Chain A
């Protein structure tokens, strides 16, 4: 394969042709912030927080969607880049609730990380705030769209599963938001509670309900396990607080797989200290069910009983 050799922050870097500037830079140990970029689903280029300075280019370029080419000279933290990033962060914060105090994403939030890194304390733009009600109709996923930065990662990861596309952008301008069809709540939508959107959300807009208020991100230790329900091998995170597993969250789907609720519940039953009560949607409403039912074992159990007779 052909290679491209370029200079990033004064360092010569050689990467396979077709590599993005983002991957070339981070591969060489440089930090580049991203919000909308999903390594499992690249090529979107919407948020522009990842801009870098390419010598000779007309403007700063979004590194996640720009290919590294031979002879390029790139700066990842030039004053212009920092200025641009600060402005983006300020604009985002302008209509972001200042809720880190109790936000469940505090400590593991990209917006917060970048605000801290670039020293943006508060927005110099006095922006209008949204006043969306918090959607906790689904027992697993809490949606607080007041905190959404419209990166679209949730939309794209959901759409990766054929026939899913439960959520999409709706409305325009200040009113743009991510919503299920007809702007219903999540419970009424076709959502299957796989929570892959929660796994990719960079901020506190999508959080995992069973862990709400149970501990700050920095108090929890994550250990990744691979699901063994089917051959796809999706990955889940065991969330430890002290030496107890207080919940299991979605991490990443197996190649081309959906990442399913059944898998997560199975991991929960297997690993969690006090497994939560499984909830399934029946006739458009979530109801508590038995573990056998949640894991789809009823048929099997029935057969075993049959055989025992």
Chain B
């Protein structure tokens, strides 16, 4: 039996296991609380304070993501004081945030934007000093625009606590605070940075500070159709979402996979470009006079059936070999095994698992 506590959030009675945070308790009954620095899979710094709530009797407005729900607690998630605090928080963030939603890659899936809209905070409410960091795009995978960074630290913790590469950390203080690899180098300086371009930091960035380079300009977030599938590379079998626009795969983003959570590696996340590569085979080919020439499906299949049939007839089915594929699906390997044993009459079927 797990011990439980019962509290009241916005007038609703909620019973949760002891140790639950106020944020989790609120979410469990569908009450919305904004968060920037909180992530259920990462450690909780309680740093951004956008998630504050009002708890009568508490000093100040506590951050709900690091406040434990206790018996009899009374919580208001949207009192005037709470909304005022969140607005001020957003105004301060926007004060040194570039006005770039117009073409920003994150537009439509950005928490800063979402909350600004929700709380009606306009960008120009609090004009402040803007950063002038150069955009880091000297590698083919990830673009870092630290002008848009809200210093939530999720990328830092993702790289430390999930990926385990410790590439980035906070440096400097105050207005100059920045998230950076050691010695202020770039990701691409891998000898120093230790970055492996898994892009797992990108998957947690709540704003447009980290983006997938090849997805820039390929379509807005709301135009993308997401199709969850399984990585075609190694045997780990990570899940991810193919992002599709106008019938083309234009990117890969994290989903919550059974094996991998949101984590992926460089191949899975950034290795999709072959799908639309011009070298893709687009028609059947038949060798004529030593050269492969284009043919129709009917011609090609008829020729395969005829030749295979002839070999089977003349030498017997066991003289036909089938090399199936560890990269094709179960369904396809199954049918290969069926085709070989039933139609061609051979057990010489194998795949390159051993290689």
A–B interface present (Cβ within 8 A) = yes
Q: Give A contacts to B, CB under 8 Å.
A: 93, 97-102, 106-107, 112, 115-116, 119-122, 213, 216-218
19 CB contacts below 8 A, A to B, read A97-B124, A98-B102, A99-B99, A101-B99, A101-B116, A102-B117, A102-B120, A102-B121, A107-B220, A107-B222, A115-B103, A116-B102, A116-B217, A121-B102, A121-B103, A216-B117, A217-B222, A218-B108, A218-B221
Contacts of A213 in B (CB 8 A): 117-118, 120
**CA–CA, A122 and B108, complex, Å:** 19
**CA–CA, A100 and B101, complex, Å:** 6
Knowing A106-B107, A115-B102, say if A101 contacts B221 (CB, 8 Å): no
Contacts of A116 in B (CB 8 A): 102-103, 217, 220
Q: How many whole Å from B220's CB to the nearest CB in chain A?
A: 7
**CA–CA, A100 and B97, complex, Å:** 13
**CA–CA, A16 and B317, complex, Å:** 61
Report whether B222 and A99 are in contact in the complex, using a CB–CB cutoff of 8 Å: no
Which residues B84-124 have CB closer than 8 A to chain A?
94, 99-103, 107-108, 113, 116-118, 120-124
Knowing A120-B103, A218-B108, say if A99 contacts B122 (CB, 8 Å): yes
- Bin the interface of chain B by size: 20 to 34
**CA–CA, A287 and B99, complex, Å:** 38
Contacts of A121 in B (CB 8 A): 100, 102-103
**CA–CA, A93 and B100, complex, Å:** 12
**CA–CA, A93 and B102, complex, Å:** 10
Q: How many whole Å from B41's CB to the nearest CB in chain A?
A: 26
List 7 A-B pairs, minimum CB-CB distance, nearest first.
A218-B222, A98-B99, A100-B101, A101-B123, A116-B103, A102-B117, A101-B101
Contacts of A101 in B (CB 8 A): 94, 99, 101, 113, 116-117, 122-123
**CA–CA, A120 and B116, complex, Å:** 24
Q: How many whole Å from B227's CB to the nearest CB in chain A?
A: 18
Which residues B113-170 have CB closer than 8 A to chain A?
113, 116-118, 120-124
**CA–CA, A122 and B104, complex, Å:** 11
Q: How many whole Å from A208's CB to the nearest CB in chain B?
A: 16
Q: How many whole Å from A72's CB to the nearest CB in chain B?
A: 27
Q: How many whole Å from A215's CB to the nearest CB in chain B?
A: 9
Q: Per a CB cutoff under 8 Å, which of B108, B117, B123 touches A98? A: B123
**CA–CA, A107 and B109, complex, Å:** 11
**CA–CA, A121 and B122, complex, Å:** 19
Given contacts A101-B123, A115-B102, A122-B100, 5 further A-B contacts (CB under 8 A): A98-B99, A100-B101, A115-B103, A120-B103, A121-B100
Contacts of B217 in A (CB 8 A): 116, 119
**CA–CA, A107 and B224, complex, Å:** 12
Q: How many whole Å from B169's CB to the nearest CB in chain A?
A: 29
**CA–CA, A100 and B113, complex, Å:** 9
Which of chain B's residues has its CB closest to A104's CB?
B117
Which of chain A's residues has its CB closest to B219's CB?
A116
Contacts of B222 in A (CB 8 A): 107, 217-218
Knowing A101-B113, A107-B108, A218-B222, say if A119 contacts B120 (CB, 8 Å): no
